[in-house]
Amino acid sequence: MLRIGRPVTFLLPFDRYRLTVTHRLLDAMSGVSRFLLRAVGEGLSLAALIEVTGLSEATLQNQLMFLQSHQYLYMTEETDPEPQLTPKGVRVVQVERLLKDFEPEIWLDSFTLAPTAAHLLLLGDPAAEVMCAAAADVTGKAVRMPCRPAKAGKSLLFYEANRLRSLLDQNGLKTLLAHYWGDDCEFIASEYPHWSVKLNPPENEQNQVHFPIEYPAGDLILRLHTGGGPTQKPGLPWISVPVLELTYVFKQVAEFPWPVTVPPPVTQHLELVTCGPVGQFTERAVINGGNHVVIPACLGENPPDTIATFPVPLGVSTEISARNLQLKYSMDERQLARLMRSCPDSLVLSVPVEEEQPA
């Protein structure tokens, strides 16, 4: 395990899409039925409906009876019965009002590698797109997360739609709709079986934004990839950390007349991000190419005190050789999701969802 003792900012790439949200019950209705429900909700009487629609009383009664049979409205028990909306009818009218011109813009991550890992980003302010890129460029030390291998056309849209489906389970869809419509829309959860969501490609060229996530000093924890255990595909790209390998070889000085004990060779591995020792080094962790997240070295002006020194007996010389390596580490996906969800002016939905810990 490697704990990075300085702040690290990652730039996470997200691609823009638009959602088409529909309601199956609403889509199954004719335009006349939808108009009648709106009109009844506004308090129009039977006589007013006949005047507004131009329908005969018999035809209008048939339409109202159809809506009553589907429990959208009922006729009051009076000498002159008037239509009234049922709770189901009220919800449908409210759904139609909320869905008018509703095509929310969302951002799906383009850096996770496993289909079971996904992040959805909603920016609270359109200007936040510019802020996201600019905020991370201030320091000049941000680490850019690479995009996963590209898919194209319908293949990409199909892949992203499947990822979106895993994000918008009942709680995810409720969170997304409540983000736009407010938490007072209590009917969102009750209408869950009727919602349908379609993913649409963006219509303009600005299709990607980089979302900055900063790990405070000491919070970023990386795990060395030793090559053992299950071969499950990682959810995030591998992290490449620069490492200095120092090998100390001890030899007896030529023509030294007394016998000496020559110590065995010693190898030290020092990561160059915070200049700390590397535990459990293995050659299987050495990176020889590929698309990785590279955390740059932070060397300073002088060699760090963490470089080992070895006192040797008289008559023994030391030969030091150095090798610069890049070691493969993994990030904690759940920790990254928690950091993203804590950012202001944005809403982030993630799969897998972080489980709440008991108090």
Averaged pLDDT, 182-200: 80
Within 53-194, strands assigned E span 73-75, 83-85, 105-109, 118-123, 143-144
* pLDDT attached to residue 135: 53
pLDDT-derived band at 359, boundaries 50, 70, 90 = very low
Question: Mean pLDDT across the chain, nearest whole number?
Answer: 83
* pLDDT attached to residue 234: 72
* pLDDT attached to residue 252: 93
pLDDT-derived band at 316, boundaries 50, 70, 90 = very high
Q: Please provide the size of the chain in residues.
A: 359
Angle, nearest 10°, between helix axes 57-69 and 31-41?
90
* pLDDT attached to residue 352: 67
Which residues are registered as beta bridge partners of 9? 214
Which residues are registered as beta bridge partners of 258? none
pLDDT-derived band at 3, boundaries 50, 70, 90 = confident
Among the residue ranges 19-28, 46-55, 143-152, 323-332, the one predicted with the least confidence is 143-152
Closest CA to 192 of 206, 212, 204, 175: 175
Averaged pLDDT, 73-92: 82
SS3 of residue 205 by DSSP: coil
> For the whole model, what pTM was predicted?
0.79
Among the residue ranges 14-18, 118-122, 171-175, 212-216, the one predicted with the least confidence is 171-175
Domains of the chain listed by start with CATH number? 8-23+101-217 (no CATH), 26-99 (1.10.10.10), 237-330 (no CATH)
CA distance 294 to 240: 5
